[in-house]
Amino acid sequence: MAVLASAGVEDDASLVERLRTGDESAFVALVRRYQARLARLALATVGNRAVAEEVCQDTWLAVVRGVDRFQGRSSFKTWLFHILLNRAHTAVGKELRAGRPEQDVEERFDASGAWASPPVPWSERADDRIVAEQLAPRVRALLAELPDSQRQVVALRDVEGLSAGDVASLLGLTAGNQRVLLHRGRSRLRALLTADMGTER
Amino acid sequence: MTAYLDGALDDADRERLEAHLAECPHCSEYLAQLRVTIEALGKVEVDDLPDDAVDELVGLYRRWRRG
């Protein structure tokens, strides 16, 4: 029996159960739910659309082949992303590195520890929910300007909502490295958004 | 700051940071902007998948099932 969440949407665990029995509609539902994100993550990792497509197809094949063995110790989403990232990294034969130190972070403060150039307020109330909604399309575009390693962590943590532990193990990072990359990525996006606003005045 | 937002600071560090934030409008603004950035990221919409993309993957699935 399918388990429906309160909005009438079937949850991943229920779809996985149906997929185990060879239910094609469950496969379709999972594809509709995740493929767009997989494609984006694959493209961000391999940088080539044709290869990214292949990586996604390989990923779904691995899912249907491996679903019997998937024990649900992690969430389906984490497992899926793990397969995708494995395939993507194999395709390009590269490993993520923690990234080189970046000047924009170190230069924010002057010798006395004060702000060299303080952040310019974005609006009357910088924690306004409406501001975040207006910024969402822009921040999505700006993600592309981050270095790969920062973009992956920010995408997985803040866009996809995976936990710090899951992201660290998905990307083969220590908890500390993951947090440093996350902070640099978020910080860079904040600065890019500020620059955006400056040019609009 | 990210450790703070993650809830990963120990009590002593967290208190020191919060005491500083209470006095420093620049750091408070910076933190508020980080929070808005994170919230905006959480609202990033995922595209709807075009039907032919779904069909292609379903084709793959059916071929695999036929063995």
Per-residue pLDDT tens digits for A79-88 = 999 999 889 8
Of B33, B50, B59, residue with least CA distance to A27:
B59
How close, in Å, is residue A187 to chain B by CA atoms? Answer: 7
Note the ipTM here: 0.75
Q: What does chain B come to in residues?
A: 67
Q: How far is it, in rounded angstroms, from Cα A179 to Cα A185?
A: 10
Q: Which CATH number fits domain B2-66: 2.20.200, 2.60.40, 1.10.10, 3.40.1130?
A: 1.10.10
- Could you state, in order of their start, the residue ranges of all structural domains in chain A? 12-92, 103-200
B26 contacts A118? CB cut-off 8 A: yes
Of residues A32, A126, A136, nearest to B49 (C-beta): A32
Q: Quick one: pLDDT at residue A199?
A: 59
B36/A128 touch (CB, cutoff 8 Å), yes or no: yes
Higher pLDDT, A191 or A49: A191
**Distance in Å, alpha carbon of B55 to nearest chain A alpha carbon:** 9
Question: Is B33–A154 a contact, with Cβ atoms under 8 angstroms apart?
Answer: no
From the list A121, A122, A158, the residue facing B38 with the nearest CB is: A158
User: Could you tell me how many CB contacts below 8 A there are between chain A and chain B?
Assistant: 115
Give pLDDT tens digits for A12-38: 999 999 999 999 999 999 999 999 889
Confidence of residue A48 (pLDDT cuts 50, 70, 90): confident
Q: For the domain bounded by A103-200, which CATH number is listed?
A: 1.10.10.10
φ, ψ for residue A126, nearest 5 deg:
-65, -15
- Asked if residue A144 has pLDDT above 70, the reply is yes
Place A2 in a pLDDT band, splitting at 50, 70 and 90.
low
Structure tokens that stand for A179 in this block: 């947090």
Chain B closest-CA separation from residue A53 CA (Å):
10
Q: Which CATH number fits domain A12-92: 1.10.260.40, 1.10.1740.10, 1.10.510.10, 1.10.3720.10?
A: 1.10.1740.10
Q: What is the pTM of this model?
A: 0.71
A179 and B34 within 8 Å at the Cβ level: the answer is no
pLDDT, averaged across chain A: 82
- Closest residue in chain A to residue B66, using alpha carbons only: A22
Backbone phi and psi for residue A22, each to the nearest 5 degrees, phi listed first: 85, 25
